[in-house]
Every structure is written in C-alpha cells, then in structure tokens.
Structure 1
Amino acid sequence: MMNQTRLLGIALFASLAFSAVGQGNAKYSWTNLPFIQQPVFKKDTVNVVNFGARPDGVTLNTKSINDAITSCSKKGGGVVLIPPGLWLTGPIELKNNVNLHISESALLYFTADKTQYALVAGVYEGKTAARNQSPISGTNLENIAITGKGVVDGNGDVWRAVHKSQLTESEWKEKVASGGVLKDDGKTWYPSEQFKAASTTNRSMLVKPGQSLSEFADMKDFLRPNLLVLTNCKKVLLEGITFQNSGAWCLHPLMCQNITMRNLRIKNPDYAHNGDGIDVESCANFMIEGCVLDVGDDAICIKSGKDEEGRKRGMPTENGIIRNNIIYKGHGGFVVGSEMSGGARNIFVQNCTFMGTDKGLRFKSVRGRGGVVENIYAKDIFMKDIVQEAIFFDMYYFVKFATDGERDMSPVVNEGTPVFRNMHFENIVCNGAEKAVFIRGLPEMPVENIRIENLVVRASKGVELIDAKGVMLNNIKLVTESKNPIVFIDNSSNITLDKIDFDKDSDLFMSVNGDRTTHITLTKTDVSKAKKEAVFQKGALEKSLIKKAGK
C-alpha cells in the first residue's frame, strides 16, 4: 500500500499541475476525485412482453421494445424489462427517465437486415459523417440507463470486411462460403458488392456542408454503425451488461455529462476494424470501473473531435475516473487520441490490468489536430505481454518519415499544433514489452512535463525520448534484452534520470543525440554497470549531461 506521505506528495503534484490550467478549471487530486452524478428511476416496471415482444429469435421485436420504452417514458419513467430469451430486434431508441433492464440469460440480438437501419448524420472519428443508425441510441436525454446481466450483440460480422491474414484457414473458408464478395486479389472479404465498391474506391463517408444523406444511399452498406451512441445526454448509467460484436466502435458516449460505465463486459473480435471498446468523446464527469474488455482496436479511449471541426466544437473530455478494469486484446489499454482536438484533462487511471494489448498507456496525435491534453494521472497499472510499448507518446500518428530519424523541422506553432503536457504515472509494472517507454513530440512542441516513477519493466528495449521536455524518470528498473543503449535521448531538454537500475554488463547506458539536447540530469544511478556510460552524436555536447552523485 502507498504510505500517506507519498499519497500527499502525489496530491500536491496534481494540485500544482491543475492550478496551471487556468481559471474556471476545477482542481482535482487523488484525494479529491471528480464527482459523477447517478440517475435515479421510479420503481414502475414495464415488461416488453406486454407490448407484443417474443423471445423466439425469429420475431422482429423492434416496435414492441421501442413502444415499451416510449410508454414508460411518457408515464414519468421507470424500468423497461427484457426477460430471459433470445430477442431479435432492429434499432432501439432510449428515452428520458428509462432504465432498460436486460435480464440475466437475455440476449438482445440485432438483425442482419440492413434495411432496418436508417441512414443518419452521425460522427466518424470526430467528424460529421453518414452512418447507419446505431443499434442502440439516444439524443438529448436525461436520466437513462441500461442495466442487468444480459447480452447485447450488434451482429457486427454482417457489417465489416476482414482480411484473409486475420483468420485461420478454416475460418476463411467459412467466411467465403457465407456469401459476400472478395477483393480482386482474393485476400479481403467484403459483406457485399456495394461495400467493396465504396472501399476499393476510397469513398468518403464525411458529410460536406450542403450535402444530403441521399447522396450516400449507394454506399449505405459501407457505413458501419457503432453499437451504442449516446449524444448530449446527462446522468447515464451502463451497468452489468455484456456488449459485444459491434460493427464499428462498441460504446460511444458523445458530448455527455455524468456518465457511469460499471462492471461491463465488452468483446469484439481481434480482427474487427475500428472495433474499439469504449470511446468517451467530449464528455464531462465520467467513470469507467470494474469493466473487462477484449477488443479489436483501442480498449478505453479518450477523444474530443478531429482537426478544425473538433476545435470548433471546443468540448474537452474532462474529469474522469477509470479504475479496476481488466483489458485483454486491444491496440491500447488506456488511450488518448488521435482525435483529441477539443482537448482532454483531469483524468485519473488506477488499478488497471492490461494483458496482451499492443500498447499499454497510449497517447497519439499529429500536426493539424490541435488541442491540449493535460493533467492525466495513472497509478497501479499492471501489464503483461504488451506487444509494443508499455508507455507510448507519439505526435506522428500515421505519418511516415525518414528511417534515419530526420523529422520535418516545422517551426510553426498554430491552432493545429497538439499539446501534451503535465502527466504523472507511478507504480507501474510490465512483464514483457518491445519497449518500456517511448516519447516522441514535435520539434516545435515537445511532449512536456511527464513524470514517471516506480516503474519496473521487462522489455526488449529501454527508454527512448525524442523532442521531449521536462521528463522525469524516478526509481526505474529496466530488464532489457538490448544492452545498447538503455536510454536513448534525441533533441530533448530538462530530462531527469533519477535512480535508474538496469542490467549489469550492458554495452551502453545512454545515447545522447541532437544539437537541441540540453540539461540531462543523472543522479543516484550506478552507470559503472555499463561498459560505456554515454555517447554524444549528431551535435549533442558532453556538457549537456549533468551528473550528480546522490545516494
């Protein structure tokens, strides 16, 4: 357990960081977490059976379920009960003051008949886009919930393409035999000719000003829906349910306030393109706790719109608690970006376990996004078998540049420049990763003021810092396969390496690179364990390294 002195120290660090945000931004700490309001419902219960619903897996129950929800809401709200059974349905629309309770052994299964899903103006990766109506949705609502121990299945396989390389031979043969069409090279399966045509010609789903939805009718099959989308809703509870097999993102609260996601199980196939688990976008005051995720893309992801459209929306995702979650497959365990143009702040991540994710703590953006991501705190994070980096920052998301490390030296800082700063991670253990820590900012805007302490990582490689500023690594143990170097620094400044433990007989402790590298402070570290302490290359000066003995 963390002692009181250390806890107070973290609270002080958090308070200091938050105080720099500006007037009007609440100051939170580990001892003063954000408060999330909960919905409250009348006890009145409406059974969907009384509205004609039938749990036979054949009857299409769309009208019956929606009628039950509407009736309940009009009478002041309460519980709409879906009892045990297999309930086939089309899109469901939530209403004010209604708790949709899906009983244990109830399976809410969404139809493969795509004509049941209307073409709507939705959001795709932070921008206005044509989409098929989500299986479950709600807009401008208050006091709503989905609870119980049942299963919600989005029937996602009828919506998405899949590459042959992602399946076993028998799975591929079964997929091809199910219908659909193949790409001309025979390596990709599409649900339909319409999907194939839109995909292979790179048709855009984004809706331009003045463009009508009817112009997207000939590519409707390509416009995969998110399983659940809640837009501009207040006081939301999602609890106990298994959400699985979504056509695209699974759970997508957008511009919501006071949302709690508790004890959920979220599962998508690992081949599911855009198969994110939870994407919290431009929301304020939220909690994700006790959830288990195993998905095809980012697991728990923080977003706030993309590029100019996201900046104009101007709604950061803020004041969040993410704790006691277990994550299996996913592109990242906890993720921020890359659509974060409205910013993100005041988010606390604690007691989470990542097993087999591509990355652990993942932060991503690119020039043009803009937005400020700050005041992110994580502690007691435990990881195993991470495919790539345990802790990862990259401001070159999906950008290709020279393999020799040369980067576009753009000196321009404008509204499209992303800012990542003021974060504190501690008490992190990772057994198995390609790289322990990777931080790559922009030359014109380094990733700044990142403090990582009490970190133990077994990985192929150690630490890499590029265009970083004010990074502090304290009490770090690195068990690495590569012994050359343990720490790589390139064009970074004000770097503090305090009490770094590494393998004996390593070839090189530190590689210092770049003429913009200054003020590297090394203390309480036995560099004699390495055959060579440091090399200075590409304009880096030996005087940039400041060594202090310490204890």
Structure 2
Amino acid sequence: MELFIRSKHFKMIRPSFIILVVFALSGIPVIESRHRPSPKPKTSIEYSALNCRKHRAVLTEFGAVGDGKTSNTKAFRDAISTLRPMAADGGVQLIVPPGKWLTGSFNLTSHFTLFIQKGATLLASQDESEYPVVAPLPSYGRGRDAPGPRFASLISGSNLTDVIITGNNGTIDGQGKYWWVKFKSGGFKSITRPYLIEIIFSQNVQISDVTLIDSPSWNIHPVYCENVIVKGVTILAPIDSPNTDGIDPDSCTNTLIEDCYVVSGDDCIAVKSGWDQYGIKIAMPTQQLSIRRLTCISPDSAGVALGSEMSGGIKDVRIEDITLIQTQSAIRIKTAVGRGGYVKDIFARRITMKTMKYVFWMSGAYNQHPDDKWDPKALPVVQNINYRDMMAENVTIAARLEGI
C-alpha cells in the first residue's frame, strides 16, 4: 500500500513507504496491496443517453404551471401515462421547460427520457399525501429510517428497460428541510423518508447532466438493476443534513459512475447490497462497478463507503482519479457480525485528499441491524483490497482499521 502523507502531526515525511496490513481476525483474511490484478468488468458499458426518441411532449401540454406553487403531480403522471403506449414505437421523451415545477412522486416508463432543460427546476412537494406509501425492499426487510413501509421516491420506476433522466443541467430540488427537521425530532417512527430518485429491477438506466439539491434522504438509488450510468451529476446538500447519501448503487451489476461532484451530509458514494438476513436471502451482489473522476466534500462521512448494508456481497469494484476535500475518510469498508456477505476484489488508485480525518478506515463492528433476527454466525469476509497512488495532506489519523 503506497501511501504519501503530509500532516502537521508528522514531523518526518518520507517520500514513500510500504504498509502491509494483516488481520488475524475471524472472517477477515490478509489484506495486501501489491501484486493484486485489478478487477475488470465482464461486460463494457456502451449505453448512451443521446438516443433519439420518436415521440415527445412538453410538460405544459398537460396543464402544468411553473410558478413554484401549483402542484403539477397530476400533470407529470398524466404526461407519462399518455406517452407510455407509444414508448415501444421508437421511444418517448418528456421535456420539462424552464420554470419551477412543484410535484409529488411520479413513476417513469420504459424507453423513456425525462429531459430537464436549463432553467427548469423540479421542486419536490413537502406534502406527504403526494407520496404513495410502498413496501420495504426485500433485501432490507423494513424501511431504512424506521420499521415499516416507505414513502415512494420523488422519481420512481420499477421493471423498466431503457430509461433516462437527463438535461442540460436542469435541477431537481428535494426541499429536504421539512423532512430533515421531522426526522431529527423523531417524527418518522414507522415510515421512511422518500429518496429523490429510485429505480428498481431495471436495465439500461442513465442519469446524467442534472443537479440534485437538498434531497429528503438518499439522492440516487438504483437497486436490483443492470447496466447503469450516472454521469456528470452535481449533488448538493448541507453537510449536517441526515442521510443525504449521494449515489447508492445497491445490488446492481455493471454500473459506471463518472464525472460527478458531491457535497453531502453522508457518504458521497455508498455501495450496498442488502441488510443482514434479508440481504443474505436475496443474495444479489453489487458487482462490476467503476467509479472515476469523482469530487467529494463530506466532513462527517466517506468519499466511497462499501457497506454497511453489504449482505448480498460487493465485488469487482474499480475506483480511480478521486478528489476528496474536507472529507472524513477516503474509502471506508463498513461491516458487522450478522451481515454475512463479502467485500472483495476492490482496486483503488490515484486518490488525492486534502484535510482528512482518516485516510484508511475499516469498521468491523457497524452494529446497526434491521431487527433482532440477525444471525450472529453470519460473518462478513473482506479480501483482495488494493489501494495505490494515494496522496493525502493535513491528515489527523492515517488509518483506523478495526476487525470484528
């Protein structure tokens, strides 16, 4: 593990030194950074958001009013319902023109592009009645905030093929303050806050060239998906906002995250695959994941977190050309007894860090569980972790490495 550190806490700086970390702990074998081949995706990602769509419509054709006050939930739902029958005939596109478009939750369809023009802002409603209540994800067994169901995300979709959310840097504003205040005061005792974007059991998904601000909780959550691209996305949230993860690929195969900028109150990227016995049962890993050219600011969380909900497994991850500024840790591996699963074949290089609490952080006792039915014999495995070409300055602690 070749590591360069400049810090006020170190009097002598050497240009290079080698660290060999050995864990003699149950379920965690040797971690060695040299002579490990970098994992390569089994398939390449060629999908593009620039496909032409044969049919298109503008949101205002369905009675929408962009004054920031009028609810346009019905207009979004009506527009997509009208376009859906034509989707198989060359695809469909809904254009959101400049304006402030207040809306609650709506579902996308296949062979569909949501194009948010420059100067257009989708404002997420703060009226809970505009968000349908949906069942927990099967790999979680409950909502992430609380036992029970969840509010549907602002933009949702399930069992889709060829779906795109893009624009020329249009904005999706989650207006999260209402949800953060209620969450911090214990107001969500039996239901989980909505996310901004959640796509489930889908393939060929692209989210690109948009700005997301102030999400109620997680920003982008593809789950049980294949062939996902998140590209050129800016995500902004106050650094003290609760659980405003940037991008959370969850039980996904063949995912590319590139050229994104994230300021967050939680992990900028959080790689997941289900929670304890529920994730073990579903057994859908996140695999063939590439993260590159990411800039992250998150003083209380990680640039890239692997876990803690990793019970379906995480493997074949490549992380390159990352810039972290005032971020708690670089790549954090989070596991616990009861998780089962694995984090393996992780290759990271060319990471530049400025003002960090930790460079390396592994937590083997991240003891948050969905309920009391987790298996104490389900031990996670961490192996084949390769970090190289990592430059850090102004570091408080170089490494915090905790086994089970």
2:220 partner letter: L
- The aligned counterpart of 1:14 is 37
Matching of residue 367 in structure 1 with residue 378 in structure 2: no
Q: Identity over the aligned pairs, expressed in percent?
A: 32
Structure 2 gaps of 5+ residues are 1-32, 144-148, 369-374
Matching of residue 61 in structure 1 with residue 61 in structure 2: no
- The aligned counterpart of 1:425 is 387
Matches within 5 A, 1:258-269: 258-269=227-238
Mapped partners of 2:389, 2:100: distance in 1: 44
- The aligned counterpart of 1:74 is 85
Matching of residue 155 in structure 1 with residue 124 in structure 2: no
Question: Alignment partner for residue 310 of structure 1, among 279, 299, 308?
Answer: 279
Mapped partners of 1:33, 1:14: distance in 2: 14
Q: Do the aligned residues in 2 keep the contact of 1:41 with 1:98 (CA within 8 Å)?
A: no
- RMSD of aligned Cα (Å): 2.3
1:58 partner letter: K
More helix by share: 1
Cα deviation, residue 301, structure 1: 0.9
Q: Do the aligned residues in 2 keep the contact of 1:125 with 1:339 (CA within 8 Å)?
A: no
Cα deviation, residue 33, structure 1: 7.1
Matches within 5 A, 1:324-343: 324-329=293-298, 331-343=301-313
Question: Alignment partner for residue 146 of structure 1, among 156, 165, 171?
Answer: 165
Matches within 5 A, 1:402-551: 416-442=378-404
Mapped partners of 1:66, 1:79: distance in 2: 14
1:389 partner letter: Y
- The aligned counterpart of 1:214 is none
- The aligned counterpart of 1:352 is 322
Question: Alignment partner for residue 217 of structure 2, among 248, 251, 260?
Answer: 248
For residue 260 of structure 1, give the secondary structure of its aligned residue in structure 2. strand
Q: Deviations for 1:207-236, whole angstroms, at most 9, x for unmatched residues?
A: xxxxxxxxxxxxx5xx31111111111000
Q: Using the TM superposition, name which of 415-424 and 95-104 deviates more.
A: 415-424
1:322 partner letter: I
2:290 partner letter: I
TM-score if structure 1 supplies the norm length? Answer: 0.61
- The aligned counterpart of 1:281 is 250
Alpha carbons of structure 1 residues 341 and 415: separation in structure 2 relative to 1, 3 Å: farther
Mapped partners of 1:127, 1:432: distance in 2: 41
Q: Do the aligned residues in 1 keep the contact of 2:73 with 2:130 (CA within 8 Å)?
A: no
Cα deviation, residue 322, structure 1: 0.2
Mapped partners of 2:55, 2:251: distance in 1: 33
Mapped partners of 2:376, 2:216: distance in 1: 36
For residue 81 of structure 2, give the secondary structure of its aligned residue in structure 1. helix
Q: Do the aligned residues in 1 keep the contact of 2:318 with 2:348 (CA within 8 Å)?
A: yes
Q: Deviations for 1:257-297, whole angstroms, at most 9, x for unmatched residues?
A: 10000000011221211111111110000000000000001
For residue 333 of structure 1, give the secondary structure of its aligned residue in structure 2. strand
Mapped partners of 2:377, 2:250: distance in 1: 20
Cα deviation, residue 414, structure 1: 7.6
Cα deviation, residue 189, structure 1: 6.4
1:61 partner letter: N
Structure 1 gaps of 5+ residues are 1-9, 16-27, 162-179, 181-187, 206-219, 400-412, 443-551
Mapped partners of 2:280, 2:46: distance in 1: 27
Question: Alignment partner for residue 141 of structure 2, among 93, 116, 127?
Answer: 127
Mapped partners of 1:434, 1:371: distance in 2: 31
- The aligned counterpart of 2:24 is none
Question: Alignment partner for residue 241 of structure 2, among 265, 272, 280?
Answer: 272
For residue 288 of structure 2, give the secondary structure of its aligned residue in structure 1. strand
Question: Alignment partner for residue 156 of structure 2, among 137, 144, 149?
Answer: 137
- The aligned counterpart of 2:12 is none
Cα deviation, residue 35, structure 1: 1.3
Mapped partners of 1:67, 1:249: distance in 2: 26
Q: Deviations for 1:237-261, whole angstroms, at most 9, x for unmatched residues?
A: 0001111111111111111110000
1:151 partner letter: T
Q: Which has the higher contact order (CA 8 A, sep 6+)?
A: 2
Q: Deviations for 1:414-464, whole angstroms, at most 9, x for unmatched residues?
A: 85101010011110001122211232223xxxxxxxxxxxxxxxxxxxxxx
Mapped partners of 2:341, 2:52: distance in 1: 37
